[in-house]
Amino acid sequence: MKKLARYLLVLLLVLVAGGWLLLSLFDANQLKKPVLGWLNEHTELDLAIGKLEFNPLHPYTLLAEDVRLGDWFRARQLYLELEQLSPLAGQTRVAVLDIIDGYLHLDRNAELALPDNLANITVAELNTKNLTLAWDGWEAQGASLTLRDWQPRQDGDWQWWSDLRLDGQVRQLSHPWLEMSQISLEGRLSQRQLVLERVQSRLFGGLFDSGLTLDLPARELVLNAPRFSHNRLQFDRAPALAEGWTLLLNRARLEDLSLTSPWLTANGIDGNFRYVEWQGQGLPEARGEWQAEEAVMDWLRLDAHQAQLTGSRERLGLALRGKAYQGSIETELSWYPQQGRLDIDNLQLLGNKLEWLPDMNWPVPDVRIHKLNLGQGELLSLDPALPLSLLGGQLFVADLAWSADQWRPLSDQARLEGRWSELAYDSLIARQGQFSARLNDTLLLLDELDSEALEGRVRLSGSLGLYPPHQGRLQLEGEALELRRLSNWLRVERGFSGTLDIRAGLAGEPWQPASWAGSLALSGRDLFIERLALDDWLKNRLREEYPQPKQVDPALAALDLDGADAFLYRAELQGPVAGGAWRLDGSAVQSVRHLLAMRGTLDFAGGWELELGAINDQGCRELAVRLTDSWRAPRLRLHQPALAEPCQPWYQGPVPYPAAGLPGRLAEAVRNLPREP
């Protein structure tokens, strides 16, 4: 009996040892192919496994390599350790699930059709190492995360966003307009909200530290007390949110930020935002303040400044104070994007040195200026088409609006006032000037413009209609104006100099000379005109015989005039203006040897019909010159009328006969002069 028992014990040990040996040599890969074939045939898993390690002695442990599930999940290794498997109760509890070098595309994932005995699945701990996640243009690389207490399946339904705890690191998070790296996070998923108590990362070359809440049902992303430090933000286009999403920032802190974009560049930004709410379209609702070392938007540049922002979806309010263009700036602005309107509630500029650049434009179609005050400003134009500079400029503007390419008043107080120390346009310079103007619904009223100009004094007043036909009125007085500077500026063929007084009172359409009416008077002294030999030309014509009116070639006459220069001691041109024609009554020019009187009309549109006369010391005309047709192609007629005895004076005006003029009958005296060799 004892021997039998011993044999049975030995046999049992041999069987146990043999079974253990057989199970140890068990190769699960032999069953992989038929099992996967059956699963993929009877389900929609599309599962593939490169290598499988499984030991029946440890039935709750599994290691799979080169795992692929459809086109949305793959992993180099997948380790599974079960804590509980109760198929009859439909309960499966995973103690540990490790995913090594995995890839998961959330936009392509599909719900797995599993049998009823896997109705409830709970994962105590899920670990990822070097996992890549992709969804909706986002990609997270190198994610090493730990998820705890996760139940992805309940009562046969998948609930991927069920409650869990998570922490870990992500090497890089990328999006077309955002890139973060070295991310560490800690938080939970609760009621389909991802709540991260703290997220730390590298962001645009700086640091980012914040609490974060991602509310999927509400499509809302909330950053709680975010801190942006030393970030260098760069955007080729404006950031965007997916449709229907909202971004919220609570108590945001900015430290030494810089921003580079096609529309704005700013450096050294420090500030705080109490809140920001942005729905991806239009303006954010925001309240905050910041200071920056510089900011550049197109041609507008600000140096060190402080700003306060108050924004809603309908209005963006900005209060700003700081330095700009080597001076100071203080302003309050309101931007209404739905109306495309900018309100300048207050703008104070002091000591600024402004530059006008070629192709400079103002992109806002509707601007309302409630108060603008510029003091001790300078302006330099770098545009060759606008050679302008200004020193010591002062400007005050109140209640003016620009819209539809038209200025209009905002109230009865709409006005402009200004002063300058020196205003230069090319070589023309005006000093110590001032002006004041008003604007009503139909007229721009220039009450006064007074300045030193052309070494003399200019005073101007008048009005201009805002709407067609733009009727205008002008009162102009110029005293002792030096014509040499005007000659240099005009760069005319014949240079000139001298002193001129001007008085004008005109009304009409500015760009329609035929509508001008009023009066115009020019009074010149000591005038010099290059290559206009008036005295020689008159002397030669008086020597010739023109008993009857005779047409003369104007080209030959002009060539004859080109021989020497002209000195005019006095010139008086005056008369009424009607229909764009200036009627020269009582007008004359005194040269060194002759007095040339004028009658007729000078058409501002480019024509003339003038009677000129070489006058003797008795005021009688001895040479009649008639100019007709256009300025550029004139018709010229000469005549020496017979004189009665005594002669009838043709000119009796303020210009006297020249002291060096020939006495008596002029033609006779000229002919008696010895001819030059």
Task: State the pLDDT confidence band at 27, using cuts at 50, 70 and 90.
Answer: low
Q: What is the mean pLDDT of residues 631-653?
A: 92
Q: Is 147 in contact with 161 (CB distance < 8 Å)?
A: no
Q: What is the mean pLDDT of residues 26-52?
A: 61
Reported as a single tens digit per residue, the pLDDT across 326-359 is 999 999 999 998 888 999 999 999 999 999 888 8
Structure-token pair, residue 552: 């003369």
Could you tell me what percent of the chain has a pLDDT over 70?
91
Task: State the pLDDT confidence band at 119, using cuts at 50, 70 and 90.
Answer: confident
Q: What is the mean pLDDT of residues 430-437?
A: 96
> How far is it between the farthest Cα atoms of the chain?
187
Task: State the pLDDT confidence band at 158, using cuts at 50, 70 and 90.
Answer: confident
Confidence at residue 39, expressed as pLDDT on a 0 to 100 scale: 53
Q: What is the mean pLDDT of residues 526-553?
A: 93
Reported as a single tens digit per residue, the pLDDT across 251-291 is 999 999 999 988 889 999 999 999 999 988 778 899 999 99
Q: Is 615 in contact with 588 (CB distance < 8 Å)?
A: yes
Name the amino acid, one letter, at 510.
P
How far, in whole angstroms, is CA 422 from its chain's centroid? 29
Asked if the model's pLDDT at residue 418 lies above 60, the reply is yes
Q: Is 204 in contact with 174 (CB distance < 8 Å)?
A: no
Reported as a single tens digit per residue, the pLDDT across 598-629 is 999 999 999 999 999 999 999 999 999 999 99
Asked if the model's pLDDT at residue 1 lies above 60, the reply is no
What residues does each domain of the chain span?
1-175, 524-672
Confidence at residue 29, expressed as pLDDT on a 0 to 100 scale: 59
Across the chain, what does the average pLDDT equal? 88
Confidence at residue 559, expressed as pLDDT on a 0 to 100 scale: 86
CA distance 463 to 507: 9
Task: State the pLDDT confidence band at 9, using cuts at 50, 70 and 90.
Answer: very low
Asked if the model's pLDDT at residue 10 lies above 60, the reply is no
Confidence at residue 56, expressed as pLDDT on a 0 to 100 scale: 66
Q: Output 585 or 506, whichever has higher pLDDT.
A: 506
Indicate the pTM of the whole model.
0.78
Asked if the model's pLDDT at residue 24 lies above 70, the reply is no
Asked if the model's pLDDT at residue 30 lies above 60, the reply is no
Q: Is 611 in contact with 600 (CB distance < 8 Å)?
A: yes
Task: State the pLDDT confidence band at 550, using cuts at 50, 70 and 90.
Answer: very high
Confidence at residue 67, expressed as pLDDT on a 0 to 100 scale: 86
List of residues 6+ apart from 267 with CB closer than 8 A: 258, 259, 292, 293, 294, 295
Pairing type for strands 265-278 and 294-297 reads antiparallel
Confidence at residue 16, expressed as pLDDT on a 0 to 100 scale: 41
- Least reliable range by pLDDT among 56-65, 177-186, 306-315, 550-559: 56-65
Asked if the model's pLDDT at residue 528 lies above 50, the reply is yes
Task: State the pLDDT confidence band at 22, using cuts at 50, 70 and 90.
Answer: very low
Confidence at residue 35, expressed as pLDDT on a 0 to 100 scale: 52
Reported as a single tens digit per residue, the pLDDT across 569-583 is 999 999 999 999 999
Task: State the pLDDT confidence band at 8, using cuts at 50, 70 and 90.
Answer: very low
Q: From residue 343, give the alpha-carbon distance in Å to each of 370, 404, 451, 587, 661.
A: 7, 15, 32, 54, 68
Confidence at residue 5, expressed as pLDDT on a 0 to 100 scale: 39
Cβ-in-10-Å burial (0-12, 13-18, 19+) of 119 comes to middle
Structure-token pair, residue 279: 């729905």
For residue 281, the tally of other CB atoms under 10 A from its CB is 9
Query: Position of tokens 């700013």?
Result: 266
Task: State the pLDDT confidence band at 21, using cuts at 50, 70 and 90.
Answer: very low
